[in-house]
């Protein structure tokens, strides 16, 4: 099945002549035009506890979250991964070297939880670290890679988030950060690929060299050949400055994204205190434009109707999940407004006008600036649902910290 998926994707690239299938990538940064393992052909969607709960987690949290994803309809919209982050395990392995879930936090064990999630039509994600320890100093995978992958497969894990605290740099004298990370993550990737189970692989090395352009570029040259998605920025938190910082770090990385290889700007803060609804809507819009994974990190059971409405916008989700897999790029800047354009599989374009400033802005942009030829176009506002036509300009007033988001298609 994986081989067939690869053939189909390569054929689609050949027939379409799309830049994503080859020459669009920077010299020295060759990347596959398809998923290395046939998985995650659209960005993963679901839940991760870290941004909201950090180590305040237990079995009931994930059971309740799973139930709410189903009851609210979020699961049907694509939010299917329920991912456990750090702090789930005991601080020591057992006598056989096996990882041990904390029995007070997870009294039924991980296999039971995986089975429960699967019974709800959901998928099970877990956290580990490629180094000696996790960031919270629980046992890491280094020295136990194949053993731990077997354990995860036996639990029914569908998604592995692999952090990179306490990296084993001392084991590889003379090798730099990127070279060691490539060795370790490739070994995990190969173990996952031969585990007998389809496990999406979320990796972290780029985030550890963010702000160091040379080292970052070196990591990005290989990351897509062994991982399905990769963190590109600092840990996000529920503040506008954090969202803007992660947006700024991720928005220029379109050349590295492809179906099955995604730039991950970190979790969604929709539903958390600390940002206005306008700002929450903007994060959701920008993450969709950037083809970033959509992983909710809040108390899903207590989502306000307004926050639930943001997360449930099927038209915006469709932009994020577009099968062409092209991440948006900034095509124009007008003062404090970034104009992003993203080509879509059916020939449409998604266009976002992002006002980073502190006051409302009236903005007009020519259709040709977003990569379209002169002609008649239909503009669908993906938030207001208003539909209009234009031959030349997209004009909109954008609130401070707001995003105007459109699907632009040829008018008939």
Catalytic residues: 163, 235
> What is the rounded CA–CA span in Å between residue 339 and residue 73?
32
DSSP output for 280-340: HHHHHHHHHHTT--EEE-S-GGG--HHHHHHHT-HHHHHHHT-TT-PPPEEEEEETTEEEE
Would you give the DSSP letter of residue 258?
B
The tokens for 119 are 């019974």
Cite the beta strand spans of 78-137 per DSSP E. Answer: 81-83, 123-129
Rounded CA gap, 207 and 153, in Å? 26
Q: What would the 3-class secondary structure string for the chain be?
A: CHHHHHHHHHHHHHHHCCHHHCCCCCCCCCCCCCCCCCCCCCCCEEEECHHHHCCCCCHHHHHHHHHHHHHCCCCCCCCCEEECCCCCECCCCCCCCCCCECCCCCCCCHHHHHHHHHHCCCEEEEEEECCCECCCCCECCCCCHHHHHHHHHHHCCCEEEEECCCCCHHHCCCCCHHHHHHHHHHHHHHHHHCCCCCCEEEECHHHHCCCCHHHHHHHHCCHHHCCCEEECCCCCCCCHHHHHHHHHHHCCCHHHCECCEEEECCCECCCCCCCCHHHHHHHHHHHHHCCCCEEECCCHHHCCHHHHHHHCCHHHHHHHCCCCCCCCEEEEEECCEEEEEEECCCCCEEEEEEECCCCCEEEEEEHHHHCCCCCCEEEEECCCCCEEEECCEEEEEECCCCEEEEEEEECC
What is the widest separation between alpha-carbon atoms in the chain?
71
Distance CA 131, CA 305 (A): 41
């Amino acid at each position: 099945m994986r081989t067939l998926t690869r053939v189909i994707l390569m054929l689609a690239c050949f027939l379409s002549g799309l830049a994503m299938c080859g020459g669009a990538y920077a010299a020295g940064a060759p990347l596959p035009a398809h998923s290395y393992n046939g998985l995650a052909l659209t960005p993963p969607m679901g839940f991760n506890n870290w941004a909201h709960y950090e180590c305040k987690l237990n079995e009931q949290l994930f059971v309740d979250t799973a139930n709410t994803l189903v009851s609210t309809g979020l699961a049907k919209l694509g939010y299917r991964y329920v991912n456990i982050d750090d702090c789930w395990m005991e601080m020591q392995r057992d006598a056989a070297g096996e990882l041990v879930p904390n029995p007070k936090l997870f009294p039924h064990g991980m296999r039971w939880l995986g089975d429960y999630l699967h019974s709800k039509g959901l998928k099970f994600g877990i956290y580990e670290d490629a180094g000696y320890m996790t960031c919270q100093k629980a046992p890491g995978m280094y020295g136990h890679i194949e053993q731990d992958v077997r354990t995860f497969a036996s639990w029914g894990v569908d998604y592995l988030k692999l952090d990179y605290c306490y990296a084993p740099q001392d084991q590889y004298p003379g090798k730099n950060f990127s070279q060691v990370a490539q060795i370790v993550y490739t070994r995990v990737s190969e173990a996952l690929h031969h585990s007998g189970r389809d496990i999406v692989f979320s990796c972290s090395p780029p985030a550890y060299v963010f702000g160091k352009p040379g080292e970052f570029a070196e990591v990005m040259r290989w990351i897509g050949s062994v991982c399905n998605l990769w963190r590109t920025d600092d840990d996000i938190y529920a503040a506008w400055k954090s969202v803007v910082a992660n947006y700024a770090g991720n928005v220029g990385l379109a050349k590295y994204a492809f179906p099955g290889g995604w730039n991950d700007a970190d979790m969604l803060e929709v539903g958390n205190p600390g940002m206005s609804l306008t700002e929450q809507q903007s994060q959701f819009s920008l993450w969709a434009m950037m083809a970033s994974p959509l992983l909710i990190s809040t108390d899903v059971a207590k989502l306000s109707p307004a926050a639930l409405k943001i997360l449930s916008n099927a038209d915006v989700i469709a932009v994020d999940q577009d099968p062409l897999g092209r991440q948006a790029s900034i095509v124009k800047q007008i003062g404090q407004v970034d104009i992003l354009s993203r080509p879509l599989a059916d020939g449409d374009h998604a266009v976002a006008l992002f006002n980073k400033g502190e006051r409302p802005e009236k903005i007009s942009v020519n259709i040709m600036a977003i990569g379209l030829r002169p002609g008649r176009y239909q503009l669908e506002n993906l938030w207001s649902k208003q539909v209009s036509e234009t031959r030349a300009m997209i004009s909109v007033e954008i609130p401070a910290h707001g995003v105007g988001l459109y699907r632009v298609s040829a008018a008939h």
